Structure 1
C-alpha cells in the first residue's frame, strides 16, 4: 500500500482525487460553454453561407443583362398604351408574363454561354464564377436547366402566340449561339453571332413581346405600329453594336479557342470605332425623327435626349485605352447603360 506524506511533497490521495474531480468539472463546464456558443453561432454561420451562395448565383446571372431585359420589356409594353384607360389589371398580367418569361430566358442564355465558355473565360474573364471555380459546374447545370424548365412551363401555360413564339426563339437562338454541337456554336461566325443577339434585341422584345402585351389591352387590335417598327430598327443597331463590341476585350482568349470574331480578324481598334459610328448614326436618325414629330414636347425630348447621348458617347470613346482590356470591358458596360437610356426614351416616342 502506498502512503503519501505532505512533508515529502506528495499529495494526499484524497486531495489528488478532489483535484481530478475539479479539473473534470471545469473541463465539462468549458465544453458546455463552447457548445452553447457554437449553438448560438450556428444560425449566423448558416446565414453567412447562404448569403455567400446567393451572391455567387447573383454574379452567375450577369445582372446587367437582366436589367436591360426588364427595362426593354416594360418600355415596349408602355409603347403599346394609347390612353390611360388601356392600363388595366389585364394589361399588368400581360406585362408580368413578359417580364418573368424574358428574365428566365435571359438567365438561361447567360448560363448556357458561361457553361460553354469556361476555358475561354479562364483567359478572358477569370473573375467569372465558373472560370474562377467559385460555382461548381454541377450546380450551374442544375440552375440553367431550372431556368429552361420554368421558362417552357410558362410558355406552355400562356395562351398568346407572340409570347410563345418569342420565348421559343429566345431559347433556341441562345442555345445555337453557345453550345458545342454540330452545326451550332454560332458565336464562332460573326454574322451568325450578330443574328442571334439581334433576334432578341431587334425582334423578340420590340416586336413579339410588344404584340403579346397588346393582346391584353381590352378593345385594341393586335398590329405592328410604326412606333414599334422604328424602335425595332434602332434596337437592331444596338444589338449589332453589342454583338461586335463584346468581342473587343476577348480577342486573346477567342484566338486561343478558335473563335473567329470580327475583332480578332480586323483588329480591336477598327471594330471599336465601327461600333461608335453605328451608335452615333442611330442618334442622328433619332434626332431627325424627333424633329418630324407633330408634338413639340416629343421633338424637344428626342432632340435634346439623343444629342446628350451622342455627345457623352463620343467624349467617353476618345478616353478609352484600347490596349487595356479592363478599359474596353468597362466601356462595353457603358454601352449597356446607353442601351438602358434609349429604352427610357422609347415610351414617349409618338410621331
Structure 2
C-alpha cells in the first residue's frame, strides 16, 4: 500500500528527519506530517519517479511556506496577545490611578480637616490666656484641698467634686478673655498684637459667638451640677469682669487704676478661694462651714499677691493705655516705681507663707518642705528682677508671666500649711 511504502521509504524518512532538524518544533513537525499524508495520495496516483520528484519539490518548498505561515501565525498571535495584555494593563493602570487619586483626595481632605481643627484649637488656646487657665485650675485645686482635714477625705467623692469645680473654668475664662479682647481691640493692636483677634486669626463675629456660647454653656453646666458656690462663682466672675471691660457709662472699670486693683483683689483673694472651698466643704463633703488655718493663711497670702498681680499687669501696656486714656498705676507713677512695689508685695506674700509654715503644727518634714519652698520661690523672683527691663514690653510680659508661674508653685504649698 502506498501509506506503508511511503513511511517505510528511507528517502521520505530522511526528508522528514531533515525537516525536523530545519524546523526544530513540534508544531512544524505536525504540519510536515500532514504534508506527508498529502504526498502519500500523490504517490498513489502517479509514478514512483514523479512522486519522488514531487515529494522532493513539495518538501523543499513546504518548509519555507510552513515556516512563513507559522512565523506569521506566531507573530499575529504574539501581537494580538501583546495588544490584549497592553489593553488590560492600561485599563488596570487607569483604574488604579483613579482609585489612588480618590484615596489621595480623601486623605488630603481628612488631613485638611485635622489641620483646620488643630489650627482652631491653637487659636482658641491663645484666645483663652493660657497662664490664666493654669492659674485658675491651680487655684480651684488648692482651695479644694484646703477643705481636706484627713487623708481619707481624698476619695473618689473628692475627685468628683474637684472635676465639678474645674469643669466650667474654660468657659468662664473664654467669656472673660473674649469680652476683654472685643472691647480692647484697638488697644491690643498696640499692646498685644499677638492676640488672635488683634492679629486677625479670629474674626469679630466668631469672637462674639465664642463669648456668647461660653456664657451659656458655663452657666448651664453649673446649674446642672447644682452647687450654689459654683453658680455664684460663675455669675459674679462674669458680671464683674464684664464691668471691667465693657465700654458703657459707669463701667469700663479698667480705666480706673483703683477699681482695677480692687477687682483683682476681690476675685483672687476672696471669690476664688472662698467659693471653691465652700463647694468642697459643704456641697461635696457635706460638712458645716469652718474656716481652717490653711484657708486663712491662703487669704493672707493672696491679699498681697493679688495686688501685685493687678499692678504688674499694666507695666508692659503703658503705651497703649496712655494713648487710649487708661489711667493705670504704671502710666501714672512710672513703670520702674510700680515694678519695685510689685516685687515688694510678692516677697511679702512669700514671707507670710514662710512664717505660717514655720509656726504650724504639721510634722517636721512638711514644715521643712513648705518653708524651703517659699524661700526658693522668693529667691527666684528676686534673682529675676535684675533681668527685667521695664521699658521693654516683652520683658514686662515675661515678668508678669513669671509671677503667675510662681503663684502656681505657691498653690501647691499652701494646702500643706496646717
Given the two structures, how large is their TM-score scaled by the length of structure 2?
Answer: 0.73
Check whether the contact 1:90–1:216 (CA below 8 A) recurs between aligned residues.
no
What does the per-residue CA deviation read over 1:6-54, in whole Å, with 9 as the maximum and x for residues that have no partner? Answer: xxxxxxxxxxxxxxxxxxx99xx69957666434422212222221122
Aligned to 2:171: 104
Identify the residue that residue 326 of structure 1 maps to in structure 2.
Answer: 394
Cα separation, partners in 2 of 1:180 and 1:250, compared to 1, 3 Å: same
Contact 2:360–2:417 (CA under 8 A) maintained in structure 1: no
> How far apart, CA to CA, are the structure 2 residues paired with 1:41 and 1:155?
40
Give the CA deviation at 1:323: 2.1
The answer to whether the Cα contact below 8 Å between 2:171 and 2:215 also exists between their aligned partners in 1 is yes
Match of 1:283, SS state, is helix
1:3 match: none
Q: Which has the higher helix share?
A: 2
Task: Give the deviation of 1:184 after TM superposition.
Answer: 0.7
Q: 1:315 aligns with which of 378, 383, 399?
A: 383
Tell me the matched-pair count: 326
State the structure with bigger RCO (CA 8 A, min sep 6), 1 or 2. Answer: 1
**Which is further off, 120-129 or 76-85?**
76-85
Matches within 5 A, 1:119-158: 119-158=186-225
CA distance in 1, matches of 2:106, 2:347: 61
In structure 2, the CA distance between the partners of 1:287 and 1:180, relative to structure 1 (3 Å rule), is same
Stretches of structure 1 lacking an aligned partner (at least 5 in a row): 1-24
Structure-2 residue corresponding to 1:293: 360
Equivalent residues in 2 for 1:22-33 (5 A)?
Answer: none
1:112-152 residue CA offsets vs partner (Å, 9 max, x unmatched):
11111111000011111100101111111111111111121
CA deviation map 1:166-191 (0-9, x unaligned): 22111111111111111111011111
Task: Give the alignment of 1:58-69 within 5 angstroms.
Answer: 58-69=125-136
The structure 1 segments of at least 4 consecutive aligned residues displaced by more than 3 Å after TM superposition are 29-40, 216-219
Give the structure 2 partner of residue 51 of structure 1. Answer: 118
Deviations 1:48-100 (A, max 9, x none): 22211221111111111101111111111111111122233332232122111
Distance 1:246-1:87 versus aligned 2 partners, 3 A rule: same
Cα offsets for 1:248-281 (capped at 9, x unmatched)? 0000001111111010001000000000011111
1:232 correspondence with 2:324: no
2:142–2:411 Cα contact (<8 Å) kept = yes
Change (3 A) 1:89 1:119: same
Secondary structure in 2 matching 1:318: helix
2:113, 2:218 → 1: CA distance? 30
In 2, Cα distance between the equivalents of 1:331 and 1:325? Answer: 10
Which residue of structure 2 aligns with residue 254 of structure 1?
Answer: 321
Measured in 1, the distance between the counterparts of 2:259 and 2:225 equals 30
CA RMSD, aligned part only? 2.2
Q: Where in structure 2 are there 5+ consecutive unaligned residues?
A: 1-89
Q: Which has the larger Rg?
A: 2
* Contact 1:86/1:217 (8 A) holds in 2: no
Give the distance between the partners of 1:148 and 1:214, measured in 2 at CA.
Answer: 26
